[in-house]
């Protein structure tokens, strides 16, 4: 399969992209990774979608293989929306499909609401379309864990000990339940290496120091009142045990005209890794 990669100049620096194309004439699907501040690394398996249309993986500015400027004023949703526009125009694309994951769904929604004419369809994978709803969901998710884990997380955050080994061990329990439920031995090697491609500074500025409390500049972000404006085919997906809860994901879908909703019954936040066969069956059918 032909692979083309390079860099596109955007506001603040250059971003890395990689296109997987099986020489179809179909409009491509752009993958928007999570974070803020993560990379395409854990999503590289989505090149499998190239069997139905070209796939564009890219690292948002400050992340992965893209430039890492030191200007903190760059880390806001409006600039990231403009970055996606610059990437699209730089690649000479007229329209595209978007698959956003986690924070990538926040960006996908914001992009569509700014440039609806550019977008042919959207897959909201494990969506975060309201920071206040996300924060409430995480508090409810925490309550499903053993009491000692809840207590450790609460006390470490209250005492500024989020870099402690106790906090890391406790959040790993949360992640093993709500992020990826595969045993360590069954997780792909590339997933284990993803941390070196992240930029925690972006996460801290936009989200905050903790997954469980939103303190950054996305604190009040909520596009639920605008979801009725989405006029393209839309698919909402999440895992049964996802930190992006099925209840909230279905709620977002209910606000979006003519959208579809699907739960991956044996997954948390990474169904593309936890249940790849089912994930690609559902997403390919939508994109075809």
Question: Which residue in the block uniquely carries the two structure tokens 């792909």?
Answer: 188
- Cα separations (Å) of 190 from 15, 55, 103, 195? 21, 19, 20, 10
Domain containing residue 90: CATH number:
3.40.50.1820
Question: Phi-psi region for residue 252, left (φ > 0), alpha (ψ -120 to 50) or beta?
Answer: alpha
In b/e form, how buried is each residue of 251-265, taking b as 16+ CB within 10 angstroms? bbbeebeebebbbbe
Active-site pick, 33, 242, 253, 262: 242
Summarize pLDDT for 78-98 with one digit per residue, the tens: 999 999 999 999 999 999 999
Active-site pick, 102, 126, 248, 259: 102
The series of mean pLDDT values per 10 residues for the chain, 288 residues long, is 91 98 86 96 94 96 97 98 98 96 99 98 99 96 96 93 93 96 91 86 95 94 98 99 98 97 98 98 97
Q: Is 269 a catalytic residue?
A: yes
- Supply the range of the domain harboring residue 178: 3-287
Summarize pLDDT for 150-204 with one digit per residue, the tens: 999 999 999 989 999 999 999 999 999 999 999 999 999 888 888 889 999 999 9
- Cβ-based neighbour number of residue 83 at 10 Å: 23
Number of domains in the chain: 1
């Amino acid at each position: 399969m032909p692979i083309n990669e390079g860099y596109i100049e955007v506001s603040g620096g250059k971003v890395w992209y990689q296109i997987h194309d099986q020489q179809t004439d179909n409009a491509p699907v752009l993958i928007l990774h999570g974070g803020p501040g993560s990379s395409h690394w854990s999503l590289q398996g989505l090149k499998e979608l190239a069997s139905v249309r070209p796939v564009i993986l890219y690292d948002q500015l400050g992340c992965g293989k893209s430039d890492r400027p030191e200007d903190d004023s760059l880390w806001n949703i409006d600039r990231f929306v403009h970055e996606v526009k610059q990437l699209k125009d730089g690649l000479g694309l007229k329209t595209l499909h978007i698959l956003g994951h986690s924070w990538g769904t926040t960006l996908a929604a914001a992009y569509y609401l700014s440039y609806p004419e550019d977008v042919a369809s959207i897959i909201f994978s494990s969506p975060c379309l309201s920071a206040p709803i996300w924060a409430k969901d995480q508090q409810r998710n925490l309550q499903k864990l053993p009491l000692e884990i809840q207590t450790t997380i609460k006390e470490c955050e209250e005492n500024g000990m989020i870099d402690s080994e106790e906090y890391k061990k406790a959040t790993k329990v949360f992640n093993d339940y709500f992020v990826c439920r595969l045993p360590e031995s069954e997780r792909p090697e590339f997933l284990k290496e993803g941390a070196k491609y992240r930029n925690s500074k972006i996460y801290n500025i936009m989200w905050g120091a903790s997954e469980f409390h939103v303190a950054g500049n996305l604190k009040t972000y909520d596009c639920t009142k605008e979801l009725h404006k989405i006029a393209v085919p839309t698919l909402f997906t999440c895992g049964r045990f996802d930190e992006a809860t099925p209840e909230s994901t279905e709620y977002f879908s209910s606000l979006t005209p003519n959208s579809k909703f699907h739960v991956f019954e044996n997954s948390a936040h990474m169904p593309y890794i936890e249940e790849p066969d089912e994930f690609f069956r559902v997403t390919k059918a939508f994109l075809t």
